[in-house]
Copies of this chain bind each other. A is one copy, B any other.
Amino acid sequence: MTTMPINTAISRFSVPALADMPQDIRDRLLAVQEKSGFIPNVFLVLARRPDEFRAFFAYHDALMDKPGNLSKAEREMIVVATSNANGCQYCVVAHGAILRIRAKNPLIADQIAINYRKADITDRQRAMLDFAMKVAFEAQLVDEDDYAGLAAHGFTEDDAWDIAGIAAFFGLSNRMANVTRMRPNDEFYNMGR
């Protein structure tokens, strides 16, 4: 009975060296490192595929950095709630950190990840997360009643699109992180606590 050593690689796929990446991708990684003090593994793991990398982060930025009625913290709530339901370690840990910082609340990320229905959130945020979960797990059933429910909490048509877009995009991200066995950086676990 021998035991396999625990695997702590950042991906089950090989990861390119910084020097071998296209200039624009290397630049983005160095900028992130400059700002955050480390390079989140999602950048390294996806750099194996430069075209997909560029599309992925363009999509990410289009949804997460755009202006709109959803606060930055609320967008991260959507990521954290759907990512735990998808069993995605990377996204819950990394975006949990961002959520704690954005919400200035050290408890909120764990609460939402485990069971957002019992988290310290407003009714409006609860309705937002109910819709996000329906998009993530049974989008084929979404209908006008769901939009009416959002409108009753003051969400506009564009807010509804934003919620759906974030849930759908991170569904893609969750799947790629799970398939590549993407490892969350140790730095994320304690940020914002």
Q: Which residues of A contact B (CB under 8 A)?
A: 1, 3-4, 6, 8, 12-14, 48-49, 51-52, 54-56, 58-59, 61-63, 66, 84, 86-89, 92-93, 96, 106-107, 110-111, 113-115, 117-124, 135-136, 139-144, 147, 152-154, 157, 161, 164-165, 167-169, 171-172, 174-176, 178-181, 183, 186, 189-190, 193
Contacts and interface: CB of A to CB of B under 8 A. Distances in A.
A179 B142 contact: yes
Given A55-B56, A87-B139, A93-B110, 5 more contacts: A6-B121, A12-B147, A49-B62, A51-B61, A89-B114
Instruction: Describe A's contact surface by its main secondary structure.
Output: helix
Contacts of A107: 186, 189
Q: What 6 A-B pairs come out closest when comparing CB atoms? A: A87-B140, A55-B59, A51-B62, A168-B175, A55-B58, A139-B178
A3 B181 CA distance: 31
